[in-house]
A and B are shown apart, each in its own frame.
Chain A
Amino acid sequence: MTTYKFQTVERDSVFTRLDFRSKILIMIVVTLLAFLWEDPIYEAVLAVLVLGACLAAGVKRGYITLLLAGMSPFYLFMLLTHAFFNVAQAERLLAVSNLHPIFTLPADLWLIGGLEATWEGFLYGANVMFKTMSLTLVIPLAIFTTDVDEMISSMVHARVPYKLAFIFSSTFRFSPLLWSEFNKIVAAQRLRGMALESMGLMKRVRVYARVVVPLILSALVRSQQLEVVLQSKAFNGDADRTYFHEVQMEIVDYFLISILFLFSIAAIYLRVQFGWGKFSVWF
Chain B
Amino acid sequence: MVSKKIAVLKEVSYQYPRSEGYALKDINLSIERGEFLAVIGATGAGKTTLCLSLNGVVPQFFGGRFFGSIEIGGEDTIDVPTSQLAVQVGEVFEDPETQIVAASVENEIAFILENLKTPRDEIVARIPEILDAVRLKGLEKKHPHELSLGQKQRLAIAAALAARPKLLVLDEPTSQLDPYGVRETFQLLKDFQAAYNLTVVMTGHAAEEIAEYADRVALLSEGQLKAVGSPQEIYTSFSLLKDNALRPPQVADTFQRIRQRSVEVIQTPVCLQDGIEAIRDLQTRVNICSPKISSQGEVLQTETILETENLFFNYPDGTIALKDVNLTVKKGEYIALMGENGAGKSTLAKHFLNLLQPSRGDVRFAGKPTREFQVSQLASRIGYVAQNPDQQIFTTSVEEEVSFALRNLGYSSTEISVRIEESLTEMGLLQVRDVHPLSLPKGDRARVVIAAILAMHPEVVIFDEPTTGQDDLGAQAILKVSLRLHQQGKTIIVITHHLHLMPDYARRAVVMGRGRILLDTDIRTAYHQVDLLKKTYLHPPQAVLLAQEIASQTPIPKLLTPAEVAACFKPRVRGRA
Contacts and interface: CB of A to CB of B under 8 A. Distances in A.
A195 B427 CA distance: 26
Nearest to B56: A231
Interface stretch (B18-26, B82-90, B521-529): B82-90
A147 interface: yes
B103 A149 contact: yes
Given A244-B110, A246-B120, A232 B91 contact: yes
Interface in A138-190: 147-149, 173, 181, 184-185, 187-190
B120 A243 contact: yes
A187 B355 CA distance: 8
12 contacts: A5-B143, A149-B107, A191-B353, A193-B376, A228-B93, A230-B101, A232-B91, A234-B83, A234-B87, A234-B112, A236-B115, A242-B114
Contacts of B17: none
Contacts of B120: 242-244, 246
Interface stretch (B248-256, B303-311, B391-399): B391-399
B375 A191 contact: yes
Contacts of A188: 386, 391-392, 394
Question: Majority SS of interface residues in chain A?
Answer: helix
A65 interface: no
A211 interface: yes
B329 interface: no
Interface stretch (B175-183, B401-409, B487-495, B544-552): B401-409
Interface of A: 1-2, 4-5, 147-149, 173, 181, 184-185, 187-198, 210-211, 213-214, 217-218, 221-222, 225-236, 240-246
Nearest to B127: A244
Contacts of A214: 393-394
B376 A190 contact: yes
Interface string B75-109: 00000011110110111010000110111101100
A227 B61 contact: yes
B394 A189 contact: yes
A184 B350 CA distance: 12
Contacts of A233: 86, 101, 111-112, 115, 159
Interface string B392-434: 1110000000001110110000000000000000000000000
Interface residues of B, number: 71
Contacts of B159: 233
B98 A229 contact: yes
Interface in B45-83: 52, 55, 57, 60-61, 81-83
Most buried by A among B114, B317, B405, B453: B114
B117 to A, nearest CB: 5
Contacts of A217: 438
Nearest to A241: B114
Contact of A193 (B90, B315, B379, B438): B379
Contact of B82 (A2, A173, A198, A231): A231
A236 B394 contact: no
Contacts of A228: 52, 57, 61, 93
Nearest to A177: B97
Contact of B408 (A2, A148, A193, A244): A193
B375 to A, nearest CB: 5
B104 A149 contact: yes
B560 interface: no
List of 7 A-B pairs having minimum Cβ-Cβ separation, nearest first: A244-B110, A234-B86, A192-B405, A193-B408, A4-B145, A234-B115, A232-B91
B101 A236 contact: no
B456 interface: yes
A192 B452 contact: yes
Contact of B143 (A4, A230, A231): A4
Contacts of A2: 145
A194 B61 contact: no
Contacts of A187: 355
B463 interface: no
A147 B104 contact: yes
Given A5-B143, A192-B405, A233-B159, 6 more contacts: A148-B103, A188-B394, A231-B81, A231-B86, A234-B115, A244-B120
A244 B105 CA distance: 13
B80 to A, nearest CB: 12
A217 B436 CA distance: 12
A192 B315 contact: no
Nearest to A230: B101
A147 B101 contact: no
A163 to B, nearest CB: 13
B374 A244 contact: no
B317 A242 contact: no
A228 B319 CA distance: 34
Contacts of B392: 188, 191
Contacts of A235: 83, 111, 115
B101 A241 contact: no
B390 A218 contact: yes
B317 A213 contact: no
Contact of B375 (A149, A173, A197): A197
Nearest to A185: B394
A185 B86 CA distance: 35
A225 B98 contact: yes
Interface string B333-376: 00000000000000000000101000000000000000000111
B113 interface: yes
B14 interface: no
B374 A197 contact: yes
B139 interface: no
Contacts of A198: 374
Contacts of A241: 114-115, 117
A161 to B, nearest CB: 16
A194 B119 CA distance: 55
A283 B215 CA distance: 89
Nearest to B396: A213
Nearest to B455: A192
A32 to B, nearest CB: 30
B271 interface: no
A231 B113 CA distance: 13
Nearest to A186: B394
Contacts of A190: 355, 375-376, 379
A228 B82 CA distance: 9
A195 to B, nearest CB: 4
Nearest to B380: A193
Interface in B146-197: 146, 159-160, 163
Nearest to B87: A234
A92 B112 CA distance: 60
Interface string B188-215: 0000000000000000000000000000
Interface string B500-514: 000000000000000
B459 to A, nearest CB: 14
A193 B406 CA distance: 8
Contacts of B84: 234
Contact of B124 (A147, A181, A226, A244): A244
A244 B123 contact: yes
A1 B315 contact: yes
A229 B99 contact: yes
B116 interface: yes
| Residue from A147, A173, A242, A245 with most neighbouring chain B CB atoms (10 Å) | A242
B36 interface: no
Nearest to A187: B355
A232 B53 CA distance: 11
